[in-house]
Structure 1
Amino acid sequence: MAAMHRISTPAGKTRTLTYYVEAGTELQFYSQNESDLTFALYYSEKETTPEEEYEALLPPIQKCALPAIDLYNQDATRTGYYHLRLTNDAAWLFPSTFRVLVHEKSGKEVQALNQKEKWIKQGVKVK
């Protein structure tokens, strides 16, 4: 769990992590959340595509708070930008923390293009 990046999402707000991925890559999303939130995955050919034009790969689903680590696999059939969107629509006052680590099937970590945002706390690198 220490290697997972922590994304803080204020009540009623949305955070989006964007990954550039080559076609043929199998992505593995390891995640854990301490409170309910909505999780979705979108695709766009260009990084500058407006959000309303994203193609939904995984429609928004409610992700219940569980202590276990979840795994979601996504085959990248096209080269482009994959957007992981997290929405804290269940909370009224408090932020929600979502932990995530994205790997290729080979085990290499895939970094988000916006990984350095202040609302992302970097996980500890495993040796």
Structure 2
Amino acid sequence: MIEGTYTVLKGAEHALSAPQDWSSLRLNEEEQHILARSAHVMRFGDGDGEMKMPVRPEQLLTQRRSGDLGNDLWTTWNVVQENAIKGGIRAVTRDEFGRHRRMTSRPVTGIDQDIKLNKALWLLGAEMAKLKGAR
């Protein structure tokens, strides 16, 4: 039990330091797109990684507020995470008759899916931080 407590505390320590650590890490455009493409597969890919939604990866980088402008890892990660979880991303697809059909991505509402996606996104952010030289 004591060992489990230390594990939880260590995890909380990393989570609390991430905003400060990740905010100092600048991402170039290619790194931002890598983050978005990875999140895109996690959110919209099926078991084989095939995309069934016409949402493009770069749409996950669209800021919803002026406060989301920036190229640091923390800001970019938050923008991608919010777009992946909240939905509301618009796209155009074709129906079975070849007609254009507008669609909007749905929010993640299932607790299990939300937890799984957030854990995967957190791991993605943490690995990007390691690659960028964070402690």
Give the structure-1-normalised TM-score.
0.31
Compare the two structures and name the one with the higher strand fraction.
Answer: 1
Higher-Rg structure is 2
Compare the two structures and name the one with the higher helix fraction.
Answer: 2
**More contact order relative to length (CA 8 Å, sep ≥ 6):** 1
